[in-house]
Structure 1
Amino acid sequence: MSDSVAIHLSNATTDFSTKSYDYENPVYICQKEDSIKFGAVAVPFFYYIVFTFGLLGNSLILFLLLKYEKIKTVTNFFILNLVISDLLFTISLPFWAFYHSNEWIFGNGMCKVLSSIFFIGYFSCILFLTMMTTDRYLAVVHAVSATRTRKLLYVYMASIAIWMISFVSTVPKFVLYGTRKDSFAGILCEETGYPSEKIEKWKLFGYYQQLIMFFFLPLILILYCYTLIVLKLYYTKMHNKDKAVKLIFLIVLAFFICWTPYNTVILLKIIDVGTCNDHIDNAFYICRNIAYFHCCINPFFYTFVGTKFRRHLSTVFRIHCWSKYRHSSSSSKSEYSPQTIYE
């Protein structure tokens, strides 16, 4: 069987549930059986892993922020927004994991909503990581002038701008995504309801958007900022300077390792747009999993390595262990009371 099969829409086995078109020219649809089978094996388990660790890690940071930290500081407000971005991205993963191993059973409306939530979290996460890097650059390299500019108004405006860019970037996903029936895969949640030429153009636009706005520009800015930060630290008498430089190196390395393979595959998709290549599709599934794993390690780089958050975390565990000890020592004398935890 060839990679592409020409079929007339009037005799198509694929049923578009939102719109129908009557064209004399045939529409070429790729046969994706092999890549779909591979995705059904490679994607779900990894999505559940990312969901579990991402939800636990980011929820713990959110708890520590709200309980022990002042939100009305520049750094903490950016961390709060990053956590919200990661959680938005994470909460939709179980739905996509189930979808890859079965079919879409949650309806057309949920297809649009969940895809929008997913991409809003995804886009805003990258932008907030970039913004936090820029803020660190200002605080270290331009410390004197930054004291005048790094005010709450600055962080509010930057956060609003990032959320607006993320929402606007997601609009094409919301418009194009919908459900349709496929003779092989069942009900799908993907770009549908429009002529194939228009869908391919919007896919191409999305690929360029991903490469330029959410990879190349952030990567260049991150490399530039952290290079100047390292140079600044090198010429200052800072305590634990080597530790700070190592942390910066790990942050940049993690971003590069997680996102470069995925965007390389995106570039290959741009080059081979309109063709059917199972090898590229399979590589896309694998590299996308690696990229999405970055939301799990964000908490460790931006909070848990910090002295304050580690101290807060140790406080939580001490309180938890002490409450368990008191409960076990008194359980033989009296019935358990919820107040034990808070004493």
Structure 2
Amino acid sequence: MDPNQTDYDEDDGLCNLSPNPLDIITQTYIHSIICAFGLIGNTLVIVTYIFYKRTKTMTDVYLFSVAVADLIFVVALPFIIYNEQHSWLMGSFACKLLRSAYSINLYSGMLLLACISGDRYIAIVQARRSFGSRSSTLIYSRLICSVVWVSAVALTLPTFIYTDRFEEQNLEANKTETVTCQLYFDENEMAKLMKLLVPSFQMAIGFLLPLLVMVFCYSSIVCTLQRAQSSQRHKAVRVVLAVVAVFIVCHLPYNVTLLNLTLSLFKERSCEEEKIKLKILSISRSIAYLHCCLNPILYAFIGVKFRSHFRQIMLDLWCFSKKYIYAARSSHVTSDVCLSGRASSDASNNASSFSA
């Protein structure tokens, strides 16, 4: 049996909850844009940390891990879109793997953002205390990241185990069966338990816990910055408020909708009401997906040093292309420009004290 499929009375027939073609096309375009920008932004963050910036602080380690988590999801997103459009042609294992990609991204990404806020709280609010050498803090941060990733995988196991391809009978005559990828159970009691536990853990650990940590840490940071006499104070406060605001705007609608849908799972509801709820859930989920594109901007590129490294990446790519376009004829000019650009970038890094 599949408890996700509920019978509704609608003119003595079953309620067709399949999205209309226009909604599918619109969602495909939105997800494609999210995938493109998320792929570019998070790849640049990873490349910057590997080849240019290196991971020197706890926040660097967390930011690198967040970019990896977001990249895993945006790489999986095109395959999810393709399979949804073609009745999950890639099979049962791909169904499990791709659905689990979002869950891993959710848990690891949100918990890592909470870690970043905690690290910034320690660096700003508890700045007078000594927290050990750079090498020891890096060891702690890598250990914390390992715990986060293991926890994310463990919390995703129910999704991986119980998600499967499910063939639905089409309501219209002479139509082939529709194949979907969703939670599927053989026992009714297990279905009731998992349908409550999976979204409950997702809301509690993937949204409420990081939100509470971020609100506490960033509220303390704002209070500390307000007391500080610094020219960067107002800018730093705006950045903090932007981080919290974007987090809430992206994830609150989806979690509120998911909570509402979870509370009504075992209640009788009309077909039209269920269609509206599922449509709102789909829209709010797309908004939540958008956060993986905004993370690189909010947490990385907003810093002066990180922007300097990004400009250096662009300069090196330009130099690399020039090397093959103009070959030996312009090699001396290109080398001079590249060396000049790298020297100015290094000088900018040394002069700046602000880092993401």
**Which residue of structure 1 lines up, in the alignment, with residue 229 of structure 2?**
237
- Which residue of 141, 152, 155 maps to 2:138? 152
Please say if 1:79 is aligned against 2:82: no
Q: Which moved more, 1:231-240 or 1:170-179?
A: 231-240
Please say if 1:299 is aligned against 2:296: yes
1:134 deviation in Å?
0.8
**Which residue of structure 2 lines up, in the alignment, with residue 22 of structure 1?**
none
1:271 deviation in Å?
2.1
1:302 deviation in Å?
0.7
- Which residue of 48, 58, 67 maps to 1:64? 48
Question: Does the 8 Å CA contact 1:134/1:222 hold for their aligned counterparts?
Answer: yes
1:320 deviation in Å?
3.4
1:252 deviation in Å?
0.6
1:5 deviation in Å?
5.0
SS for the counterpart of 1:238 is coil
1:72 deviation in Å?
4.6
Q: Deviation per CA, 1:36-83, whole angstroms, max 9, x where unpaired?
A: 656523432222111111111100111111111122531211111111
The 5-angstrom pairing of residues 325-340 of structure 1 reads 330=326
The 5-angstrom pairing of residues 126-165 of structure 1 reads 126-145=110-129, 147-148=131-132, 151-165=137-151
1:266 deviation in Å?
1.0
**Which residue of structure 2 lines up, in the alignment, with residue 308 of structure 1?**
305
1:161 deviation in Å?
1.3
**Which residue of structure 1 lines up, in the alignment, with residue 89 of structure 2?**
105
- Which residue of 233, 256, 276 maps to 1:264? 256
Q: Which moved more, 1:146-155 or 1:278-287?
A: 146-155
**Which residue of structure 2 lines up, in the alignment, with residue 174 of structure 1?**
160
The total of aligned residue pairs comes to: 316
Please say if 1:251 is aligned against 2:243: yes
SS for the counterpart of 2:149 is helix
1:109 deviation in Å?
1.4
SS for the counterpart of 1:308 is helix
Paired with 2:130 and 2:86, the residues of 1 have a C-alpha distance of 52
SS for the counterpart of 1:143 is coil
Paired with 2:328 and 2:216, the residues of 1 have a C-alpha distance of 62
Please say if 1:120 is aligned against 2:123: no
What percentage of residue pairs aligned between the two structures are identical?
Answer: 26
Q: Which moved more, 1:254-263 or 1:202-211?
A: 202-211
1:267 deviation in Å?
1.4
**Which residue of structure 1 lines up, in the alignment, with residue 345 of structure 2?**
none
User: CA distance change for structure 1 residues 142 and 40 in 2, over 3 Å: closer, same or farther?
Assistant: same
Paired with 1:208 and 1:30, the residues of 2 have a C-alpha distance of 28
1:283 deviation in Å?
0.1
Paired with 1:225 and 1:30, the residues of 2 have a C-alpha distance of 50
The 5-angstrom pairing of residues 18-33 of structure 1 reads 31-33=15-17
After TM superposition, the score normalised by the length of structure 1 is 0.83
Question: Does the 8 Å CA contact 2:31/2:77 hold for their aligned counterparts?
Answer: yes
- Structure 2: which amino acid aligns with 1:307? V
- Which residue of 65, 75, 93 maps to 2:77? 93
Q: Which moved more, 1:312-321 or 1:258-267?
A: 312-321
Please say if 1:4 is aligned against 2:7: yes
User: CA distance change for structure 1 residues 148 and 131 in 2, over 3 Å: closer, same or farther?
Assistant: same
Q: Which moved more, 1:207-216 or 1:133-142?
A: 207-216
Q: What are the ranges of 5 or more consecutive residues in structure 1 without an aligned counterpart?
A: 7-28
SS for the counterpart of 2:182 is strand
- Structure 1: which amino acid aligns with 2:7? S
After TM superposition, the score normalised by the length of structure 2 is 0.81
Question: Does the 8 Å CA contact 1:107/1:179 hold for their aligned counterparts?
Answer: yes
- Which residue of 283, 287, 290 maps to 1:290? 287
Paired with 1:144 and 1:157, the residues of 2 have a C-alpha distance of 24
Paired with 2:337 and 2:102, the residues of 1 have a C-alpha distance of 37
Q: What are the ranges of 5 or more consecutive residues in structure 2 without an aligned counterpart?
A: 1-5, 171-176, 340-356
